[in-house]
């Protein structure tokens, strides 16, 4: 199915084509065939990087341009809202894209002129209590990471918000998720069409490192495990018991073993070194902010020697910007700036938004080679990496490990 055949404004279709999007992939075709452009309510469940956001964009442009009204895009995190805002603002220059994510209790009257509104569920819930007039112009609600309905913390607010909206309005509902196991039940509850696909543009290999060897599981096991519901509080971390159970279950199946040379005496540093040798990047997930910062210090020792002169110069500029974001740099600012200058960084909620954005930007450019992060980064932030290292198997979430 070609993009040029869609019922969308010619300029927007040409922008898609110019950016390299000429034909839709499998989940996108399924969504369109299931009635996406006719206003059907829909749950799209497909792996990460399979084009779910483009499905949402098609629905938003269709509803705003062809049907009139507003589209609301609900995200779980402020950082993800900022990312989507920048993406949509750049791509749809003739649409009024606005974002509202603050903690202030308000009606959001300034959103009256917006075509696309990006919000967190908490912010939308707050604004709904004021019943502003612009709410009644909504004809599409996109819920990113809709599996968070099962989250003990975020789930209740999201559920109440969606329920209140459905009581108030008649609109198209679109839910997106890469990690949902009860998709049929959720689609039934929302009275929505279910679009499922295991299409993945990049092969996913999952393995466990023990000593100096990684044991990779068969591809069908990776696909099976990636479709299971992740614990929303741990953002993808499994318990040690779960990993052992999965390993025992597959012990008789053929696996691939890869040897990693021990150059640094630490598994994470060795894996980073191995990644850099093929000119790729890595993300290291840690259980705490302190752990992420310490991991970044160690990764910097590995990344610094491989930097080119040009990379060092660009990273120096990023380092200075990160250092000077606050009027008086803290010890954390100085630590991050030093790491960035050496090609590594840490990323967690303790950084100011601009610092996190600069780290993400430099990583996307290939300048920062490794990012050590808490699970906040895993909750929907689009930061592709060749290798993802789950350094810690346990994390304190407020209710225990």
- Residue 81's nearest CA partner among 163, 125, 169, 145 is 145
Contacts 24+ apart (CB under 8 A), 120-125: 120/74, 120/75, 120/76, 120/77, 120/78, 120/81, 121/74, 121/76, 121/154, 121/157, 121/158, 121/161, 122/154, 122/157, 124/72, 124/74, 124/161, 125/157, 125/160, 125/161, 125/164
For position 247, what pLDDT does the model report?
A: 60
| 7: exposed, middle or buried (Cβ count in 10 Å: 0-12, 13-18, 19+) | exposed
- Domain residue limits, the chain: 3-196, 204-259, 263-401
**Per-residue model confidence as pLDDT tens digits over 116-175:** 999 999 999 999 999 999 999 999 999 998 988 888 888 899 999 999 999 999 999 999
Among the four given CATH numbers 3.90.700.10, 3.40.50.300, 3.90.79.10, 3.65.10.10, the one describing domain 3-196: 3.40.50.300
Classify domain 263-401 at the CATH topology level.
Rossmann fold (3.40.50)
φ/ψ region of 143 (left if φ > 0, alpha if ψ in -120 to 50, else beta) reads: beta
For position 10, what pLDDT does the model report?
A: 85
Let me know: does 79 contact 103? Beta carbons within 8 Å. Answer: no
Total count of residues recorded for the chain = 401
Structure tokens at 113: 């002129």
Domains 3-196 and 263-401 share a fold: yes
For position 232, what pLDDT does the model report?
A: 39
Output the tens digit of pLDDT for each of the chain's 401 residues. 888 888 888 888 888 888 888 899 999 999 999 999 999 999 999 988 888 999 999 999 999 988 888 999 999 888 788 889 989 999 998 899 999 987 788 888 899 999 999 999 999 999 999 999 999 999 999 999 898 888 888 889 999 999 999 999 999 999 998 877 778 888 888 889 999 988 888 888 888 888 888 888 776 555 555 444 444 343 445 555 566 666 665 555 677 888 888 898 899 999 999 999 999 999 999 989 999 999 999 999 999 999 999 999 999 999 999 999 988 899 999 999 999 999 999 999 889 889 998 999 999 999 999 999 987 776 656 788 899 999 877 665 555 55
Let me know: does 89 contact 118? Beta carbons within 8 Å. Answer: no
Please state, in angstroms and rounded to a whole number, the distance separating the CA atoms of residues 75 and 145.
7
Q: How far is the CA of 134 from the CAs of 25, 108, 174, 298, 311, in angstroms?
A: 34, 9, 20, 50, 47
- Residue 286's nearest CA partner among 295, 273, 297, 276 is 295
Please state, in angstroms and rounded to a whole number, the distance separating the CA atoms of residues 189 and 257.
43
For position 228, what pLDDT does the model report?
A: 46
Cα torsion angle, 116, 121, 127, 131, sign = positive
For position 343, what pLDDT does the model report?
A: 97
By percentage, how much of the chain surpasses pLDDT 70?
88
**Cβ neighbour number for residue 372 with a 10 Å cutoff:** 30
Structure tokens at 75: 């995200």
For position 242, what pLDDT does the model report?
A: 64
For position 314, what pLDDT does the model report?
A: 97
- Non-local (6+) Cβ contacts of 309 within 8 A are none
- What's the start-to-end Cα distance of the chain, in Å? 47
Cα torsion angle, 235, 223, 270, 308, sign = negative
């Amino acid at each position: 199915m070609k993009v040029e055949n869609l019922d969308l404004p010619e300029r927007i279709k040409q922008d898609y084509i110019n950016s390299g999007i000429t034909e839709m992939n499998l989940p996108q075709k399924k969504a369109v065939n299931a009635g996406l452009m006719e206003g059907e309510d829909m749950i799209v469940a497909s792996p990460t990087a399979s084009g779910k956001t483009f499905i949402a964009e098609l629905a938003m442009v269709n509803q705003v341009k062809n049907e009139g009204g507003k589209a609301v895009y609900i995200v779980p995190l402020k950082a993800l809202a900022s990312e989507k805002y920048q993406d949509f603002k750049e791509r749809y220059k003739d649409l009024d894209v606005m974002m509202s994510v603050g903690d202030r209790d308000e009606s959001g009257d300034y959103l009256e002129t917006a075509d696309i509104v990006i919000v967190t569920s908490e912010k939308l819930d707050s604004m709904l209590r004021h019943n502003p007039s612009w709410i009644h112009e909504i004809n599409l609600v996109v819920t990113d990471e809709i599996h968070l309905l099962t989250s003990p913390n975020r789930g209740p607010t999201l559920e109440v918000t969606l329920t209140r909206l459905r009581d108030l309005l008649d609109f198209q509902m679109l839910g997106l998720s890469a990690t949902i196991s009860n998709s049929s039940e959720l689609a039934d509850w929302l009275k929505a069409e279910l679009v499922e696909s295991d299409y993945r543009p990049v092969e996913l290999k999952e393995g466990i490192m023990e000593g100096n060897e990684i044991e990779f599981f068969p591809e069908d096991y990776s696909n099976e495990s990636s479709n299971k519901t992740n614990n929303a509080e741990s953002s993808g971390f499994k318990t040690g018991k779960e990993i052992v159970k999965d390993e025992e279950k597959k012990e008789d199946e053929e696996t691939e073993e890869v040897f990693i040379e021990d150059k640094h005496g630490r598994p994470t540093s060795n894996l980073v070194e191995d990644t850099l040798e093929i000119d790729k990047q890595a993300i290291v997930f840690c259980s705490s902010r302190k752990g992420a910062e310490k991991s970044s210090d160690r990764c910097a020792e590995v990344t610094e020697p491989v930097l080119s002169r040009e990379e060092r110069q660009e990273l120096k500029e990023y380092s200075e910007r990160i250092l000077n974001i606050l009027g008086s740099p803290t010890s954390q600012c100085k630590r991050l700036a030093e790491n960035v200058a050496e090609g590594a960084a840490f990323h967690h909620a303790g950084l100011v938004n601009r610092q996190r954005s600069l780290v993400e930007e430099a990583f996307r450019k290939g300048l920062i080679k490794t990012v050590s992060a808490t699970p906040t980064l895993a909750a929907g932030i689009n930061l592709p990496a060749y290798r993802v290292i789950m350094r810690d198997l346990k994390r304190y979430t407020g209710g225990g490990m």
